[in-house]
Amino acid sequence: MAALAYYLILPFLYLISLLPFPLLYLVSDGFYVLLYYVIGYRKKVVLENLRKSFPEKSEKEIQRICKDFYHYLCDLFLETFKTLTIGKASMLRHCTFTPEAQVVFDRMAAEKKSVVLVMGHLGNWEWAGNTFSTLCKQQLYVIYHPLSNKQFDRLIYNMRSRFGTKLIAMRETYREMAANKDIVSATAFIADQTPSPEGAYWTTFLNQDTPVFQGTERIARKLNYPVVYACIKRIKRGYYEINAEVLCENPKSTSDGEISELHTKRLEKDIIAQPEVWLWSHRRWKHKKPVA
């Protein structure tokens, strides 16, 4: 049944990917009406997350961010599948580096330093991977969760690797990174996912007790790879700019929780600056902090 659904949906996805951008966003506007007004996909979750994250904002402001988020979410979904057919030149017109980011990655490559690349579900992280693999000398590895549906998993894998990116299943992260130590690489961790409360690093993020995966920090310290934070800023509809900064040159010298605190606070700052392009439908705060 799942295989049948895949082969029925696949032509539609390729058709979407071939649309010129004005038509793509016209389709996205239609999806927005359906998703926000008709289906109401996770609207309660989104509004609850926004109200708790921004208690200082009025209800009118919260509702405005909520609507802007659903517009962005529909754009993001269709932009992601645009990767199936988009060319490199077009990709770089729509998603590019700031000069400062290019300097960071060029320096690391020249020094033959592999890096741990930390980012959040902010902006179009899928396009950011394509741009990195096109512009940078490092081999980009992205940590991902394999899908249970083998056909869709293969589609997403092929789509993400079109521009040269390689994927590592989350459970194999450290083993694969250790095996690839001779390759000058950047391994991307999406660090705002929700770990189990036990064993997580806990901090205050967007006014709430929040668990953070410690794997990013622990791997950086074990391998002593510099930690680079990347922010994907939406300039206007369909256009993104990637900035990057080195958070830590020598992770082995840091204390427990220091790197986790650094990248979490940096992401928080970027979300506050452009809240509508973060993934508010994610159940980020479904766990409560364990009592000591």
For residue range 132-144, what is the model confidence (pLDDT) as tens digits?
Answer: 999 999 999 999 9
Position 171 scores a pLDDT of: 92
pLDDT digits (tens, 9 = 90+) for 23-62: 999 999 999 999 999 999 999 999 999 999 999 999 999 9
Confirm whether 285 is domain-assigned: no
Confirm whether 11 is domain-assigned: yes
| β strands within the chain, DSSP E | 95-97, 115-119, 139-144, 166-169, 185-190, 201-205, 208-212, 227-236, 239-248
Confirm whether 290 is domain-assigned: no
pLDDT digits (tens, 9 = 90+) for 117-130: 999 999 999 999 99
Q: What percentage of the chain carries pLDDT values higher than 90?
A: 91
Rounded to whole angstroms, the Cα distance separating 273 from 283 reads 21
Q: Which helix (H) or strand (E) holds 31?
A: helix 21-32
Confirm whether 286 is domain-assigned: no
Position 149 scores a pLDDT of: 86
Residues in the chain: 292
Confirm whether 287 is domain-assigned: no
Confirm whether 1 is domain-assigned: no
pLDDT digits (tens, 9 = 90+) for 245-262: 999 999 999 999 999 999
Confirm whether 144 is domain-assigned: yes
Number of independent structural domains in the chain? 1
Confirm whether 2 is domain-assigned: no
Q: Which residues span the domain enclosing 95?
A: 7-277
Position 8 scores a pLDDT of: 87
Position 218 scores a pLDDT of: 96
Position 291 scores a pLDDT of: 80
| Contact by Cβ (8 Å): 133, 163 | yes
